[in-house]
Amino acid sequence: MLKNTVTYQLVDSPMLNQIFEEKWLKITQENGFAYVSKPFEELKASHVTRFLIKDHAGLFVGTLEFVKFNLGYSILNHYHDFTSHQEFMENKELTYELGKIGIDQEHRGRHLPKILELMSDFARAYEVKYYLGAMEGKLYRLLCKFGLSLEQLADEIINEKHSAVPMAFHMEKLQEDMKHNKFLQRLERKEKEMTHS
């Protein structure tokens, strides 16, 4: 189990889940995403693990959700047949879905290293080999532009308000990116400077 850090907070109570829901509702309204809410107890029973991302002052500024990959039902299969990929099927116990990745509008552009740190920490704690998702198109292109190793699994799906890219993070590649990516290193330095100022 992951412990809370200065970077993120495990959502382990109905009160924290309410904060998560409020943050995610705001993000969905800003971006035109569909908003779906579930009670905290139902989330726990469904093997959903949620985290709140913190800024340098300890305020909650974002969300990230991990869901154990479920072959029988996965919302991701609305975007692409992820079960058609042999590597995910052979490693289904080591595969998680990423969901509800969001940073408050006024904090965007500054907290990507924290999201990646949480993904990396969660992967180490739960032996995750793959993260799957239907990532918002702008975010996907931004991550690729900055040199992160993502695998696009199908064509981008575009509608009037937003787009989604069926994609996968291979954790070995992501952890290498985190060690050597100059853009991420610059963002981390800026965040440390803000923390110490």
Instruction: Give the start-to-end residue ranges of the domains of the chain.
Output: 8-196
Indicate whether 194 pLDDT > 80.
no
For residue 2, give the DSSP letter.
Answer: P
In this structure, what DSSP letter does residue 76 have? Answer: G
Helix (H, G, I), strand (E, B) or coil at 127: coil
Q: What is the CA radius of gyration of the chain?
A: 16
pLDDT score recorded for residue 70: 80
Helix ranges (H only) for 32-155 are: 40-45, 86-90, 112-126, 137-145
Q: Which residues pair with 135 in a beta bridge?
A: 165
Q: Does residue 193 register a pLDDT over 70?
A: no
Q: pLDDT (tens digit, 9 = 90+) per residue, 16-37?
A: 999 999 999 998 888 777 777 8
Q: Which residue has the tokens 């469904």?
A: 46
Distance CA 22, CA 176 (A): 34
How wide is the angle at C-alpha 193 spanned by C-alphas 189 and 197, nearest 5°? 175
Residue 54, token pair as written in the block: 């913190």
Q: Domain 8-196 is of which CATH architecture? A: 3-Layer(aba) Sandwich (3.40)
Q: For the whole model, what pTM was predicted?
A: 0.87
